[in-house]
Structure 1
Amino acid sequence: MQNTKNINSIPETIKDNPFLAWVERTGNKLPHPFLLFVYLALAVIVISAILNYFGTNTYNPKTSETYPIKSLLSGDGVAYMFTNFVKNFVGFPPLGTIITVMLGIGLAERVGLLSTLLTQTVAKAPRHLLTFCVFIAGICGSIASDANYLILIPLVAMIFHSVGRNPLAGAAAAYAAAGAGYDASLFITVGDALFAGIATDAARIIDPDAYVSAVDNYYFVACSVFVLATVGTLIIDKIVEPRLNNLHPLSTMIKERPTTDLNMTAEEKMGLKRVVFFTIGYLIFILALILPETSALRNSDGGLIPSPFLKSLVPFMFFYFLGIGVIYGKAVGKIKKIEDIPTLMAESVKTLATTLVLFLAIAQFIAYFKWTGIGNLVAFEGAHFLESVGFDGYALIVSFILITCICNVFMTSGSAQFALFAPIFIPMLMQLNIDPAFTMAMFRIGDSATNIISPMSPYFSVALVFMQSYKPELRIGTLIATMLPLAIGFLVFWSAFLLLWTALGLDIGPGVSMYIN
């Protein structure tokens, strides 16, 4: 899950470039995401009253009946807002999901397991596979959330330098992997659970029984990891690094070539070994639960798509990360007594404070959008317009991705942007028979590709600072020029991969394709 932008972290040198200065000024005009959704909720209140006054009707796709837009300024509307304020927040689907997942993943991060895995994946890579392994580790490293950027960028720059390669190219590769590949992973991440919850809530505007699982994009995003890693490797090795070697050769770096010792301690080795044993045992345990045809985790027909098992992935994730976190923490001495476990879990949840505040406003906005009937109205009218102009298929996919990636330059918080897009586009596209999970897959591409060229991203300046530790005279223009081929490459090839996936009629997740029916 991406953090909300921190404008104060953007260097003054951004003003040197007119285009970037415009991006900064435009982005600065956006309110804080919390305030943005407060304003949107207020707008829904006012619009609902106006539409109700003029007798505007909306459409119920389930019953094929029309009914008037309900006003939030009426007696019933005011009563609804006050009596359901807490319920809207507590019942917001992503809320419980993200807290539960973060309690487990956060523990694994706090004891140092995720950082050790990231470090060893890159440090032990063969020289000829170094760039590819950096991209695999960085893309999958989104499971470690923000730590991925802070660990990987300086680490890869140092490793590139130590093997005689340009450290600026190493930093660029790490930043591209962590940022432009943020929403792809071989693992189920906090972002998957968060997006699925928001998509579920938006889909229920049309279908009260709709459910989007955290694995509904898994087939596509897991395969995307290798596509993006290949694309990123080719761009770094064939375009970015040769250019940097000409402009900023290794001999001009102010840091001496390091002789780093990235070997693990005996405790870390023992911890990782125990984690492997636990993982094997946990997989055997899950298979024992779901393989029997009479398993309670299968559906009534004995299948797994859909099934209670797929709806239980969050608790399975929680117990897995809790288990490996405790095992590794005890091995390295981060957990000395049982009381340390809840303490470390509590510390991990503190990082969600900003997200929980944001959810309070998002939950009210989506609930109002749904209760008034405005959501159905926008979905029906928008779908009717798209259908009338024949705007569907590949044109629809490409256009949605482009809209998302442009907006992402100015609003780099993925959760906030999806919470804004989902209630509008998911119901609208459902009217065109587009599955909510497919809309979520399209969003992932646009939400990731332009992260690395957006000055509004808090990690844009972080990447620049790490590069400046090797070349102090580097400026924003160099960073943009370095990252632009990677951003374009990821956007073009990831979009093309989705089009190819769709053309082949492949499922993007278990039992999920482009179309609902």
Structure 2
Amino acid sequence: MADEKKKNEDEVPEPEGRGTLFDKFLNFIEKAGNKLPDPAMLFFLLLVIVWVFSALLSPIDFGEVHPRTGEALNVQNMLTGENLASFLANMIETFVLFAPLGIVLVAMLGVGVAEHSGWIDAGLKKLLGFTPKALLTPMLILIAIVSHTAADAGYVLVIPLGGVIFYAAGRHPLAGIAAAFAGVSGGFSANFIPSAIDPLLMSFTLEAARILDPEIMLNPLNNIYFTALSSILIVSVGWYITDKIVEPRLQSVEVDGDEEDMPQMEEVSDRESRAFWFGFGAMILGFIGLFIWAWPEGSSLRDPSWDNPEVSSLFSFNAPLMQAIVPLIFILLLIPGVVYGYASGKYKSSKDMIDNMTKSMESMGYYVVMAFFCALFIDAFAKSNIGLLIALKGANFLQALALPGQITIVGIVFLSAFVNILVGSASAKWALIAPIFVPMLMQLGISPDLTQAAYRVGDSVSNIITPLLPYFPLVVVFCQRYAKKTGIGTLISMMLPYSIIFLVTWTIFLLIYWWIGIPLSFEANYVYPAN
């Protein structure tokens, strides 16, 4: 009996009431995905697979040319003595310099103080006091979209808060995580506030366009009108998917996380309420100080390399403000957390603050292990050229079809979505394939601005279903906080409706947007050469 009971506890309960064909498909994805190895072990196995295939494919001439260097593109054998020696010599550096690792750990230090001191919990309870439960979803997705301005901080700040908000409201916490993940990552290119990614992608687009037209000029925010209106689409569609598709399916998923790691529903006392507003006021003062520092044209937070600092210097990739986003998140959450801690009486000394930081880092131990193997795999995948070769073959196939402009744009969206599953970084991927896409479509009369918009749609929608996204394992960890048996398959099946519906609706939205003729941005065009 004891063995049978243990066996039943270890099994993931079969979903109930999922009778539609789509529900059965999602159920199959979840069941199959959960049979995959632990995420850390999965990345190790993928690393081994890359090594093996790199050795098998390296002797083959695929007839491709590297779009940036002009040299023949061949798969690099990662199992040679030289490459294995380099792998061992650079292993520590590859792990330590893995970009998401530092972003997650630094941001979580600030989040830990703000959360464990009780400031975030008090704020959420106040938010729930005047926000109808039915409007939590669109509000959360909107906040997730705005978080793009803070680079990748949305992954470590907004997504876990999605679970906290929904759980505190009596809704399923995984639905909140799903909605936030959809906004942060699935709607990555939907935002009405400029961010560092806008001029960064444009710089690669401009470089690619000058292959064909050395004199062409592009606006650094050449898609801002489109991305702003796209945010309305993502909020609306994401709201429907969360409330009508995802959350009903999650009712059979038991919330069995440790109570001490989940928010409680006690009322906010008068002292805690005053402490919250003290903390909130301290954060607002921090923002005001930052604004005063950043606003002048000669501010040290601006990028002086741009010709028009009023438009782009604060949001260019090289602007110190953009490069300091994560440290600023740390500071601007640390301040209200500390103020709240002392004002509420929860902090007696600085040791209490350090204990909160330590507790936050303890919860990141599993992510650090996964990040180690993930960093090694992504590094080997990039150096082997396998991902780039797949991307180039797909782009060349699309070019050979010589389809009408609208169909070609749809093809760019779908191809970008597929390539995104294999190559994670938006900027690195666009830097590699823009020299193919942009000149190719310019020769068909399609502007670089429109090509970039199509790429950004495809690059966003498949983020949320690929375990190769560096933050994907972190989202699994966030889910396991509430449902211990959450696996990769659970998360993929939960996010697949967002990915599919975003892909279809956003592509249609782009075509209608183009057909109506709404500008993509100021000084942006649909056709090449511009009229």
Q: Tell me the TM-score range normalised by the shorter chain.
A: 0.5 to 0.7
Aligned pair partner of 1:155 in 166, 169, 172: 169
Distance 1:340-1:422 versus aligned 2 partners, 3 A rule: same
Q: Helix, strand or coil: the match of 1:432?
A: helix
Distance 1:12-1:366 versus aligned 2 partners, 3 A rule: closer
Quick one: distance in 2 between partners of 1:220 and 1:103?
35
Distance 1:59-1:152 versus aligned 2 partners, 3 A rule: same
- For 2:274, the equivalent position in structure 1 comes to 270
1:107 is the counterpart of 2:113: yes
Q: Which amino acid aligns with 1:350?
A: E
- For 1:393, the equivalent position in structure 2 comes to 409
- For 1:118, the equivalent position in structure 2 comes to 124
Q: Helix, strand or coil: the match of 1:77?
A: helix
Quick one: distance in 1 between partners of 2:75 and 2:352?
53
Q: Which amino acid aligns with 1:382?
A: G
Equivalent residue runs for 1:214-229 within 5 Å: 227=233, 229=235
- For 1:179, the equivalent position in structure 2 comes to 178
- For 2:86, the equivalent position in structure 1 comes to 80
Distance 1:295-1:63 versus aligned 2 partners, 3 A rule: same
Q: Helix, strand or coil: the match of 1:382?
A: helix
Distance 1:138-1:333 versus aligned 2 partners, 3 A rule: farther
Quick one: distance in 2 between partners of 1:368 and 1:499?
37
Q: Which amino acid aligns with 2:276?
A: L
When the two structures are aligned, how many residues end up with a matched partner? 420
1:371 is the counterpart of 2:378: no
Determine if contact 2:272/2:344 at 8 Å carries over to the other structure.
Answer: yes
Determine if contact 2:223/2:453 at 8 Å carries over to the other structure.
Answer: yes
Q: Helix, strand or coil: the match of 2:182?
A: coil
Determine if contact 1:118/1:137 at 8 Å carries over to the other structure.
Answer: no
User: What is the deviation of 1:224?
Assistant: 6.0
1:291 is the counterpart of 2:295: yes
TM normalised by structure 2 equals 0.62
Aligned identity (percent) is 25
Q: Helix, strand or coil: the match of 1:359?
A: helix
User: What is the deviation of 1:366?
Assistant: 1.9
1:331 is the counterpart of 2:343: yes
- Superposed CA offset, 1:409-468 (max 9, x none): xxxxxxxx9859998898446642499998676454455699xxxxx9899999999xxx
Equivalent residue runs for 1:2-401 within 5 Å: 8=10, 10-14=12-16, 22-54=28-60, 59-66=65-72, 68-125=74-131, 131-137=134-140, 140=143, 143-146=157-160, 148-149=162-163, 151-153=165-167, 155-156=169-170, 176-184=175-183, 227=233, 229-230=235-236, 264-301=268-305, 303=309, 304=313, 305-306=315-316, 307-390=319-402, 392-397=408-413
User: What is the deviation of 1:320?
Assistant: 0.8
Quick one: distance in 2 between partners of 1:494 and 1:140?
19
User: What is the deviation of 1:338?
Assistant: 0.9
Distance 1:331-1:449 versus aligned 2 partners, 3 A rule: farther
Distance 1:79-1:15 versus aligned 2 partners, 3 A rule: farther
Consecutive unaligned residues in structure 2, runs of 5 or more: 1-8, 145-153, 208-220, 249-264, 439-447, 467-474, 485-492
RMSD: 5.2
User: What is the deviation of 1:27?
Assistant: 2.1
Quick one: distance in 1 between partners of 2:227 and 2:10?
33
Determine if contact 1:400/1:442 at 8 Å carries over to the other structure.
Answer: yes
Quick one: distance in 2 between partners of 1:449 and 1:35?
18
User: What is the deviation of 1:265?
Assistant: 1.4
Q: Helix, strand or coil: the match of 1:183?
A: helix
Determine if contact 1:181/1:228 at 8 Å carries over to the other structure.
Answer: no
Q: Helix, strand or coil: the match of 2:72?
A: strand
Q: Which amino acid aligns with 2:134?
A: T
User: What is the deviation of 1:114?
Assistant: 2.3
- Superposed CA offset, 1:37-68 (max 9, x none): 22222122122222333456753322212265
Quick one: distance in 2 between partners of 1:356 and 1:270?
37
Distance 1:120-1:443 versus aligned 2 partners, 3 A rule: farther
